[in-house]
Amino acid sequence: MFKFNLLIIAISCCVCNVFGKKQECPGADAQFEGTCYKVLPDQYDWMGGVAACANTTPGSTMLAIETEEENEFLKTWLAGAIAAISNGDYKYAWLYGSDLGENKNFLWHNSNGTGSHPFGFDAWGIDQPSSKPHYHCMDLNLEDNLFTWDSYPCTGFLNNSNGEPVAVEDFVVCEYPMPSLWE
Ligand SMILES: [Ca+2]
């Protein structure tokens, strides 16, 4: 059996060398089904997060959770990744969804930066999306590992009980397509 295993490993290496390098996500923190994911170390308002992801890697956008399978992967990976960079201080991550195109019609923005597409599934929290005006941008609620979606002011500011603006900027996860296996 030992020799057989060595033979399999040797054949696998030959196949790698002949057909190309192993598929991977250089510079990313995680990968899942052809997509690379990277957590940025800073916090941003929603538009700042969009720009920060675009500047990270060509084709990179903010996180959009488009399938239940992607959601399950993120539940497993993201909470630990965020805790590692923020000591548990980061509770919300912007999502690349909004109703900026049509009020109360929340959609995912397309990865090419133009247009949008509807949800394949949704995970809105209780009483979300909010009925409050100006709550046009989406984020992911990681408090208590809820992993539900909220709508929030895109500026990253809320008014406190005295009517004063308080920063509630979120952290940002970027995603981008895995480089081609055949490059
Ligand atoms: Ca996605």
Handedness of CA 150, 68, 49, 43 (dihedral sign): positive
What residues contact residue 153 under an 8 Å CB cut-off, 6+ apart? 134, 135, 136, 137, 168
Tell me how far the alpha carbon of residue 36 lies from the centroid of ligand 1, in angstroms: 9
Instruction: Please give the distance, rounded to the nearest whole angstrom, from the Cα atom of residue 108 to the centre of ligand 1.
Output: 10
Which amino acid makes up residue 121?
F
pLDDT of residue 104: 94
- Distance (Å) from CA 86 to ligand 1 centroid: 22
24-177 is classed in which CATH architecture? Roll (3.10)
Least confident of 19-23, 90-94, 98-102, 105-109: 19-23
Ligand 1 center to residue 112 CA distance, Å?
Answer: 13
Tell me: the pLDDT tens digits for 85-99? 777 777 899 999 999
Give the residue with greater pLDDT, 1 vs 126. 126
Going from the Cα of 117 to the center of ligand 1, the distance in angstroms, rounded, reads: 12
How confident is the model at residue 32, as a pLDDT?
A: 96
Averaged confidence pLDDT in the chain: 85
- Scanning the chain, the segments in alpha helix (DSSP H) are 2-19, 46-56, 68-86
Whether the pTM exceeds 0.95: the reply is no
Please write the tens of the pLDDT for every residue from 132-171. 989 999 999 988 788 999 999 999 777 788 888 787 778 9
Band (173; pLDDT cuts 50, 70, 90):
very high
Closest CA to 172 of 57, 65, 46, 68: 46
Nearest to 108 by CA among 121, 96, 120: 96
CA of 65 to the centre of ligand 1 (A): 5
Confidence of residue 72 (pLDDT cuts 50, 70, 90): very high
Q: Taking residues 28-43, what's their average pLDDT?
A: 94
CA of 89 to the centre of ligand 1 (A): 24
Higher pLDDT, 29 or 182: 29
Distance (Å) from CA 9 to ligand 1 centroid: 33
